[in-house]
Amino acid sequence: MASPETSALVCELARSFYELGWASGTGGGICIREGDRVVMAPSGVQKERMRPEQMFTMALDGSVLERPEDPGLRPSECSSLFLAAIKHRDAGAVIHSHSIHALMATLLFDSEFCVSHLEMIKGIEGMSFGDRLVVPIIDNTARECDLAESLEAAIVAYPRANAVLVRRHGVYVWGRDWIHAKTQAECYDYLFRAAVEMRRMGIPTCVPGGISDASLSPRRSDAPDHP
Ligand SMILES: [Zn+2]
């Protein structure tokens, strides 16, 4: 049986993600793993009003071990996606965000989101300031569960990434435990927002040559024209 603390924590985190705009309109979600079982929210509920007794507990193979008393509740649409990150990366928690920053980032890049030379990159596991941070972008599907195959393929193809963006949709981020997953998701969201703003101002987001590269400067079209 999943601990009541973990179920309460899923609800508490979902509330804070709702406040950040990551989980409005019942979208987004989070799961937390406890050994060989995973606590997940139900599908289609208001993320800021969930209660611990509404949580599902699932085995790593996706079978339901414990379900809430309310027969109207179904497991999260994200279940198979959460379980893919757990299976391939031994994740302890997975966060799915519908953040507007993640969504906009998927519209500005083709198959890979890329940034370099931003302090917050150091917050991403294994990365330093000058590294090129790449996050794969997969195309959205009509139903969330149909994303599982392409999400798994992206996880395998990008072993350094601990996030996958979904075009016109949002992002999946994972970590070794819920604290790590949360901090990774916060760093990614900041970087998605920074990249969108940089692109808006004509500043390159990814400059392999380094920050001394003159191309890093913003377009000076608004600069004063006098000597
Ligand atoms: Zn979603």
- Tens of pLDDT, residues 177-210: 999 999 999 999 999 999 999 999 999 999 876 6
**d(CA 7, ligand 1 centre) in Å:** 20
Please write the tens of the pLDDT for every residue from 109-135.
999 999 999 999 999 999 999 899 999
Q: Which two tokens stand for residue 197?
A: 């703003």
**d(CA 160, ligand 1 centre) in Å:** 23
Residues belonging to the active site: 119
Find all residues with CB under 8 Å of 181, minimum gap 6, and list them: 30, 91, 92, 93, 94, 95, 173, 174, 175
Output b/e per residue, 44-62; b: 16+ Cβ within 10 A: ebebeebebebbbbbeeee
Tell whether the model's pLDDT for residue 222 goes beyond 80: no
**d(CA 191, ligand 1 centre) in Å:** 20
The pTM (predicted TM-score) of the whole model is 0.90
Phi, psi of 103 (to 5 degrees): -55, -50
* Average pLDDT estimate for 37-66: 94
What is the rounded CA–CA span in Å between residue 102 and residue 100? Answer: 5
**d(CA 29, ligand 1 centre) in Å:** 8
